[in-house]
Structure 1
Amino acid sequence: MDLPVADNVEERLYKVLVIGEFGVGKTSIIRRYTENFFSPNYKLTIGVDFALKPLEWQNPPCKINLQLWDIAGHERFGQMTRVYYKYAIAAVLVYDTTRSATFDAVLKWYSDVNSKVMLSDEKPVPCLLLANKCDLDEAQVDKETLDAFCHKHGFIGWFATSAKDDTNISDAFEFLVSKILEMTAMPSQPDRSAVHLDDGQDSERSLVREWKDRCCE
């Protein structure tokens, strides 16, 4: 949403987890979305990294800071996920359309999120599924299968994406933000679902300190 909004509109910070197996393209997706940049070579994410995407939203008018937490896909970092998931309001679960094993692991990650973080009304955080690397010749994306899978397991939807070609990256995140805004506008959802900017920065610093302290023990 690139149209300008008034200077006095509400500013919000939303923490979104980006999760999935090692090598599915989580870092590439985040870099493409936040910096419009793609590289075929990235270093292994150790533990967690994060990036910020500012958005000017029109309906409702607000300034959104989307904080994307890139969670390492290697299972040896799994014991720390409870710390990383803290304060998240949504999740993006990524798999590689050329590696069926990464799709087989989707429900493991989904279950992990649901067991460690929830909304303030104790409902699961909304989760969007990304079928990544759809530009590759060996990619396998079956619309009917993914529609049924998402409906059965409670995902809010799915997109076939390519960070390399910039396919559906912005569309996917804008869809997710629209669902977050719908959710936080519901009367049953307390206002604290949307983290205010100052509180979010404090929680971010606290989480990073906590992670560094544990890693150095």
Structure 2
Amino acid sequence: MASVDRMFKILVIGDTGAGKTAFVHQYVNGQYKAVNKQTVGVAFALKVFQWKDGNTIRLQMWDIAGQERFTAMTRVYYKNAAACVLMFDVTNRQSFQNSLKWKRDLDSKATLTNGDPLPCILLANKCDLSHRALSRPEINQFARENHFLCWAEVSVKENLNVTESMMRLVHSVLKNETDLESSMAVEPANLEIRNEDEKKPGSTFKCCLTT
């Protein structure tokens, strides 16, 4: 059977300084790049890979600026999106609290073609740092109450859970594509994500389902 080439638009949203641009660069290029300037409007990147059924997946990564002055444009940026990554800085409580504003903005302006909300994962970035501004139970409760697909701790700098979290999101996107449902293998409800270095403290994380 001939392979299928699928294209999906993925939004990456959250406050300035959460690490969105570095996340996109790490995921697309496999490299950590410290970002010293703010995204203006929206930036784009393309990730191409082969799914396990032989189909080619192309993800258009839309890195949305986190500054308040760009929120008036989000309806345009969100158009035709298939899924979303909402990122916050786990060392910055305000960044976490503002995630509610971002999620409400997303849900009010973007839906799937059947009217359902976009699948959205919540990522707590900078988990490699010793200082934390909030606890895991607090994040978990927030994710459940606001209907995220799942949440996970990530470190863009250490490349921890970056690809794994995106694969969880892609599973959801493909599940929403009825013409591919019969050919995809659905992951178990709880996707355990492990760092390659199992000896490193805190190297095991779970992408915690909230539904």
Which category describes the TM-score, using the shorter chain as reference length? 0.7 to 0.9
Cα deviation, residue 152, structure 1: 1.7
| Mapped partners of 1:62, 1:148: distance in 2 | 36
Correspondence for 1:170: 163
CA contact (8 A) 1:19 1:92 kept: yes
Aligned counterpart for 1:34 among listed residues 10, 25, 28: 28
Q: Do 2:93 and 2:134's aligned partners in 1 also have CA atoms closer than 8 Å? A: no
The alignment status of 1:126 with 2:139, answered yes or no, reads no
C-alpha distance in structure 2 between counterparts of 1:41 and 1:183, whole Å? 34
Matched, 1:109 2:98: no
- Greater Cα shift, 62-71 or 38-47: 38-47
Residue 33 of structure 1 deviates from its aligned partner by 0.4
CA RMSD of aligned residues (A): 1.6
- Answering whether residue 86 of structure 2 is matched by residue 93 of structure 1, we say yes
Unmatched segments (≥5 aa) in structure 1:
1-5, 188-217
Q: 1:9 corresponds to which residue? A: 3
CA distance in structure 1 between the aligned counterparts of 2:147 and 2:8, rounded to whole angstroms: 21
Q: Deviations over 1:148-201 (max 9, x none)?
A: 2222211000110111100100000001001111122389xxxxxxxxxxxxxx
The answer to whether the 8 A contact 1:141-1:160 is kept is no
1:68 aligned to 61, 77, 81, which one?
Answer: 61
Cα distance in structure 2, aligned partners of 1:92 and 1:21: 12
Q: Does 1:148 align with 2:141?
A: yes
User: Is 2:55 the partner of 1:55?
Assistant: no
In structure 2, list runs of 5 or more residues that go unmatched.
181-211
4+ long deviations beyond 4 Å: none
SS for the counterpart of 2:55 is strand
What SS does the aligned partner of 1:58 have?
A: coil
The one-letter amino acid paired with 2:84 is A
Equivalenced residues, count? 180
Q: Does 1:182 align with 2:145?
A: no
Contact 1:133/1:139, CA 8 A, preserved across alignment: no
TM-score calculated relative to the size of structure 2:
0.81
Work out which structure has the larger RCO, using CA pairs closer than 8 Å and 6 or more positions apart in sequence: 1
- The alignment's TM-score, normalised by the length of structure 1, stands at 0.79
Q: Provide the identity percentage.
A: 40
C-alpha deviations, 1:76-119, integer Å up to 9, x for none?
A: 11111111111101110000011000100011000111111111
Q: Which moved more, 1:86-95 or 1:133-142?
A: 133-142
Larger helix proportion of the pair = 1
Q: C-alpha displacement at 1:44, in angstroms? A: 1.1
C-alpha contact 1:134 1:141 (8 A) present in aligned 2: no
8 Å contact from structure 1 (residues 131, 141) kept in 2: no
Post-superposition Cα deviations, 1:1-26, rounded to whole Å, max 9, x if no partner, equal xxxxx8x3010000010000011000
Measure, in 2, the Cα distance between the counterparts of 1:110 and 1:11. Answer: 30
Q: Match of 1:41, as an amino acid?
A: V
Aligned letter for 1:86?
A: K
**2:193 paired residue number:** none
CA contact (8 A) 1:129 1:157 kept: yes
CA–CA separation in structure 1 for the residues paired with 2:111 and 2:118: 5
Contact 1:28 1:38 in 2 (8 A): yes
